[in-house]
Structure 1
Amino acid sequence: MSLAPRAVLVHRVSEYEELLARHGTHGQAAFFLSSRGRAIDDVRERDLRARRALAEVAAAVPAPWRQARVERADLDRFLFGPEDVVVVAGQDGLVANAAKYLDGQPVIGIDTDPGRNPGVLVRHRSADAARLLAAAVGRGAAFDELTMVEAATDDGQRLLALNEIYLGCPGHRTARYRLSPGEGGGEAQASSGVLVGTGTGATGWLRSLWQQRGSALPLPGPAEGRLAWFVREAWPSPVTGTSFVEGLLARGERLGVTVESDRLVVFGDGMEADALELTWGQSVRMGVSATSLRLLC
């Protein structure tokens, strides 16, 4: 007998909740914000809108279904199951934060603050939750299969991301490594790090590098099976080069990096707390993942 679907509601602690945790009371939080020229009313109202949206989604879950909630900070410790329907309530970035922990589960993006989010990934409203949940498990549901990027290390570690994967130093020091964009030997580089991103990420950090550099690379679309990569601020010296600073990766191609620093980190979609750590001589290969994000249209 198969398990009933489980609706997993993914959310994030609001700015108001963070202020209360830091300052203790509403009044002290209001005083803190006023001392910096801000009013607490808007912050509190956004918190209430998010709570109302979560409550509306929870109430729409069908009675036979199971239900669970997970906060962004706990995603790396939460075990998603194959029967889950993942409902992300918040901003577009929260969908990306959750995506790396999924393996083909349907995802519904709920915008809890319409007008403030671009709505690229959180496309729906909480009032439509009942219809969306039914559609996610029904026949003929329409999904966008969004390409993801993968990093695999030589010791068997694996990392997924929906927007981009960053490799570099954990601080502001120079990252040293050997970069191999193909099957050749590549070159030793010293830079601020390497960014490998998808078409979904091409609306954010990846685009900012592309734009700043005036690159002629055609950035991929969200569902295209290719990636773009950029080296940030590569530094030429007698022992480091700048021949390979940008490129595209088709499905099956890999960008290889061998570490020549004491410590480098690899993390996806801004989740620095869930990073892979690499040291001298270790290598990592980045490319299009076989896993994609199934986002309900």
Structure 2
Amino acid sequence: MSLAPRAVLVHRTTEYEALLARHGTHGQAAFFLSSRGRGIDDVRERHERNRRSLAEVAAAVPLQWRQARVERADLDRFLFGPEDVVVVVGQDGLVANVAKYLDGQPVIGIDTDPGRNAGVLVRHRASDARALLAAVDRTGADELTMVEAVTDDTQRLLALNEIYLGPPGHQTARYTLTVEDPEPATEPQASSGVLVGTGTGATGWLRSLWQQSSSPLPLPVPTDARLAWFVREAWPSPTTGTTRVEGVLSAGQSLRLTVESDRLVAFGDGMESDALELTWGQTVRVGVARTALRLVG
């Protein structure tokens, strides 16, 4: 007998809740904000909208389904099952935060603050949740390409927007970069890191590097099985080069870095607290991930 579907509601602590946790009471939080030229009313109103949306989505889950909730800070300790339907209640960035922990489960993005969020990944309102959950098997989903990094000791990191590889302090690191395309092309480099991103990430950090370098590369769109990569602030020297600083990777191609510094990190979607640690001599390959994010249209 198969398990009933489980709706997993993903949310994050609101700014108002964080203020109360830090300052103890509403009055003390209000005083703290007022001393910095801010009012608390708007912060509390956004909190209330978020809580109302979460309650409305929870009430929309079919009665025969199971239900669970997980806060963003606990995602790395939560076990998602193959029968789960993931409902992200919050901002676009929360979808990226949860994507790395999934393996093909459908994701419904609920915008709790329309007009304030871009709504690229949280495409729906809380009032849509009942109909979306009831028809999730029949509703089309976009397969959004993800990026993955795999180290020579089999550690694996997934991201929806981009993966950064470089020094933890964003200063200068030494490494050898190899583009496997399909004939390997290798160059020793010193830079402040390498960014490899998807079409979903091409609206953020990746695009800023693309614009800064006046790159002619065509950036991918979210459903393209392609990645774009850029080297940040490559430094020319007698032993390091700057000729291979950008490119595009198709499915099956990869970018390989061999570490020549004491310590490098690889993290995805800005989550520095959940990074791979790389030491001298280690190798990491970055390419199109085997899995994609199924985002319900």
Bucket of the pairwise TM-score, normalised by the shorter protein:
over 0.9
For 1:1-297, list aligned pairs within 5 A. 1-136=1-136, 138=137, 140-182=138-180, 183-184=183-184, 186-297=186-297
Give the superposition deviation at 1:290.
1.3
Q: Distance in 1 between matches of 2:232 and 2:118?
A: 26
Give the superposition deviation at 1:185.
5.1
- Checking the alignment, whether the CA contact within 8 Å between 2:132 and 2:139 is kept in structure 1 is no
Q: Distance in 2 between matches of 1:238 and 1:24?
A: 58
- Checking the alignment, whether the CA contact within 8 Å between 2:170 and 2:193 is kept in structure 1 is no
- Checking the alignment, whether the CA contact within 8 Å between 2:172 and 2:190 is kept in structure 1 is yes
Q: Please give the per-residue CA displacement for 1:93-133, whole angstroms capped at 9, x wherever unaligned.
A: 10001000000000000000011001000000001111011
More off after superposition, 182-191 vs 99-108: 182-191
3-state SS in 1 of match to 2:31: helix
Give the superposition deviation at 1:184.
2.7
Matched-pair identity in % = 79
- Checking the alignment, whether the CA contact within 8 Å between 2:8 and 2:87 is kept in structure 1 is yes
Q: Distance in 1 between matches of 2:133 and 2:206?
A: 32
- The one-letter code of the counterpart of 2:280 is W
- Checking the alignment, whether the CA contact within 8 Å between 2:179 and 2:255 is kept in structure 1 is yes
Q: Which runs of 4+ in 1 moved over 2 A?
A: 182-185
- The one-letter code of the counterpart of 2:113 is D
Normalised by the size of structure 2, how large is the TM-score?
A: 0.98
Q: Please give the per-residue CA displacement for 1:212-252, whole angstroms capped at 9, x wherever unaligned.
A: 11110000010001000000111111111101100000110
Q: Distance in 2 between matches of 1:174 and 1:59?
A: 51
Q: Distance in 1 between matches of 2:284 and 2:55?
A: 42
3-state SS in 1 of match to 2:293: strand
- The one-letter code of the counterpart of 1:196 is V
Q: Distance in 2 between matches of 1:135 and 1:292?
A: 21
3-state SS in 2 of match to 1:30: helix
- The one-letter code of the counterpart of 1:213 is S
- The one-letter code of the counterpart of 1:69 is R
More off after superposition, 190-199 vs 179-188: 179-188
Q: Please give the per-residue CA displacement for 1:257-280, whole angstroms capped at 9, x wherever unaligned.
A: 001111111011111111110000
- The one-letter code of the counterpart of 2:105 is Q
Q: Distance in 2 between matches of 1:62 and 1:170?
A: 45
3-state SS in 1 of match to 2:21: helix
- The one-letter code of the counterpart of 1:162 is L
Q: Distance in 2 between matches of 1:195 and 1:28?
A: 41
Normalised by the size of structure 1, how large is the TM-score?
A: 0.98
3-state SS in 2 of match to 1:28: helix
Q: Distance in 1 between matches of 2:196 and 2:135?
A: 33
3-state SS in 2 of match to 1:229: strand
Give the superposition deviation at 1:173.
2.6
Q: Which runs of 5+ in 1 are unaligned?
A: none
Q: Distance in 2 between matches of 1:111 and 1:132?
A: 14
